[in-house]
Structure 1
Amino acid sequence: MSLRHWIVFAGLLVSTAASAAGIKIENAWARATAPGQKVGGAFLTLTADTDAALVGAASPVATEVELHSMAMDKGVMVMRRMERIDLPMGKAVTLEPGGLHIMLIGLKAPLKVGEPLPLVLTVRDAKGKTQQIKVSAEVREPGGMPMQHGHQH
């Protein structure tokens, strides 16, 4: 095999490894907040190419960002901080209101409809390798519906 063929082959191996460790992120959004409101929530869907876990998040708009679960326990809504959210290979994991979500604590300013919310997600694969993923979430009306563009007659 010539040197040129080895270089091409090595390039294919690197690109295969990068796609094998890939994380697909869809529908990233956050709820708009009222003036003075100090907490907010962010939501999205993650699909990993390999077994992995979401182990952290950060944003410059909040002093603290945590992973949370929300569930009903004997008729009472219970929210708990989580150290990780598992991302089984090939399975879409949705963070949504009333379930798993990203909690923004100590908001520095209200989240306004139409403004982007910068997030950095930390994902760890099954081998312990971590990666940081930058995400821009769309801030939506409190009901979570996307902004409507255009007009009706």
Structure 2
Amino acid sequence: MMLSRSLVVATGLSLISFAALADPLIIEQAQVRAVPPGSPASAAFMTLHNPGEREVVLVTANSSAAETLELHNHEDVDGVMQMRKVAQITVPAGESVELAPGGLHLMLIGLTDPLVEGEPVEIELGFESGESQRLEAPVQQIVVEEQGQHGHAHAHDHKHDHAH
């Protein structure tokens, strides 16, 4: 009887330690922007979800598809949107951070080979904790919706809803 109880305890402990080794983030909708052959750079977008109880701080990214990967953000500098390198991207505990066109993203600089639409690009993320996490992001055409058109359509729909 004693042996089976200690076996259950040992099994329980190994499950706990395995959970601690799980990837720090859940990564969804990862994609790399398709660019014309010969382009020197591209960008990667994704949603980073932190299921844990501590914030996760992304500090580096690497890929064999590019000489350098940098964490970037678009910032309004005197009314002009400029792309700026950032030192880190923090994903608060239990929250998500979206890397998307016009905001935070990963910049692939010095592409080593042409990006082929539909082919995966392997990216390794490095965290402040010393952990790393690999992901595959397919190369896709990324169309950014025009804000003005979307807003106009919404206003038009709004009038329709209330017409009597």
TM-score of the superposition, structure 1-length normalised? 0.83
Contact 1:43 1:96 in 2 (8 A): yes
Looking at structure 2, the residues matched to 27 and 118 of structure 1 have their Cα atoms a distance apart, in angstroms, of 14
Residue 3 of structure 1 aligns to which amino acid in structure 2? Answer: S
2:126 corresponds to 1:122: yes
1:88, CA displacement in angstroms? 0.2
1:8 to 11, 23, 34: 11
1:90 to 91, 94, 104: 94
| CA shift digits 1:31-84 (9 cap, x unpaired) | 101111101100011111131111110000111111011122222121111111
2:68 corresponds to 1:64: yes
2:140 corresponds to 1:137: no
1:37 to 36, 39, 46: 39
Number of residue pairs matched by the alignment? 140
Q: Which runs of 5+ in 1 are unaligned?
A: 146-153
Looking at structure 1, the residues matched to 144 and 131 of structure 2 have their Cα atoms a distance apart, in angstroms, of 28
Aligned to 2:131, the other structure's residue is in SS state strand
RMSD of the alignment, in Å? 1.9
Q: Which has the larger radius of gyration?
A: 2
Looking at structure 2, the residues matched to 40 and 25 of structure 1 have their Cα atoms a distance apart, in angstroms, of 19
The farther-off stretch of 69-78 and 44-53 is 69-78
Looking at structure 2, the residues matched to 46 and 10 of structure 1 have their Cα atoms a distance apart, in angstroms, of 28
Structure number with higher helix proportion: 2
Q: State, as a whole percentage, how many aligned pairs show the same letter.
A: 36
Looking at structure 2, the residues matched to 37 and 104 of structure 1 have their Cα atoms a distance apart, in angstroms, of 11
Residue 12 of structure 2 aligns to which amino acid in structure 1? Answer: F
